[in-house]
Each structure stands twice: as C-alpha cells, then as structure tokens.
Amino acid sequence: MDNLCKLGFLATEILLQNRNVAEEYGKAGAGVVLSNANASLDADIAYFETVKNIPSPAQFVYTLPNIVIGEISIRHGLKGENAFFVSEDFDAAWLEFYVNDLFKRKTIDCCIAGWVDFLGGSYKAVLYLVENRSTERSLPWETEHINKIYELANGKVNG
C-alpha cells in the first residue's frame, strides 16, 4: 500500500471504530467520496524512480488517487457510489453538494467523505461519516460545519 492509501485506510479505521456501515446500510448503501490537492503524486514519484530500472507493477497500481477508495471499500465491504476529486484547497461546499445529491437520488444512505492528502511526508486526513438520517450526536451536513471540523482538525481555529 502506498502512503496515501495507508493514511486513508487508518483514518477510516478511526472513523468507523465500533461501526459496520456495510451491515447497517447494506454494502451498496454506503459510499466513499474523497478529495485532496496532490492526487497520487507521492506514489507517482515513487513509481517514476522504478522506471529507471525495472518498472514496478506493484507501485504502478497506486498511481491513481482513487485506489485509496478501493482499499477502504475492500476492508469495509463497501460497494456503493464512490468518487475522488482533486482540488487545490479543501472544498466543503462541493463535498456537501455531491454527497447530498447522492442522498437525494437515493444512490446511498451513508457516506465516508473528506480530505486525504499525502506528499513527501506531509499529510492531512479529515474524514466524516455522513448519514442520511439525524441522530442526537450528529451535526448538520452543511458547508459551515464541514469547514469548522476541517479547520479544528488542522489547528486553524481555537475551540
């Protein structure tokens, strides 16, 4: 597994501890929507080093950023809608729109969503479990709340 996959995999393990969303929502009822700024550049650089001698198919597979979604989906038995977006900065409004659209179209009822980025030893992971139902512990899935959680996770706001 490349560094981006390891980061996304571990962040999801923390997010879903004591939860089995595939069982709760059905395998096709839980999706994954992620984004970052560097796509799979960390893995691309590592793969480029191997082409100087013998290209490594084991490293080539990680030269697509959506492979992290595959690793998460395999681990948690998820078969729902998934997407990976690359943008210069974290875009909470886009994530809110995209996930809400999946809910409105009844494509999924639960989604692991957020930012997972790794490049050259620098990394950030902020994931959310978004459910198409409210609980007493849930926050509204709105741009304001998404940004606030992202900022708190990155030390940009004194809470």
Please report which confidence band the pLDDT of residue 27 belongs to, taking 50, 70 and 90 as the band edges.
very high
Please report which confidence band the pLDDT of residue 159 belongs to, taking 50, 70 and 90 as the band edges.
very low
Asked if the structure places residue 129 within a domain, the reply is: yes
pTM reported for the whole predicted model: 0.93
Asked if the structure places residue 159 within a domain, the reply is: no
- Tokens 């926050």 — which residue? 139
The CATH number of the domain holding residue 30 is 3.40.47.10
Asked if the structure places residue 143 within a domain, the reply is: yes
Asked if the structure places residue 19 within a domain, the reply is: yes
| pLDDT at position 158 over 80 | no
Tokens of 79: 């078969």
Least confidently predicted of 60-74, 96-110, 139-153: 139-153
Asked if the structure places residue 53 within a domain, the reply is: yes
Asked if the structure places residue 87 within a domain, the reply is: yes
For position 157, what pLDDT does the model report?
Answer: 60
Q: Residue 158 and residue 19: Cα distance in Å, rounded?
A: 30
Asked if the structure places residue 158 within a domain, the reply is: no
Domain count for the chain, please give it: 1
Q: Residue 95 and residue 99: Cα distance in Å, rounded?
A: 6
Full domain range(s) for residue 20: 3-153
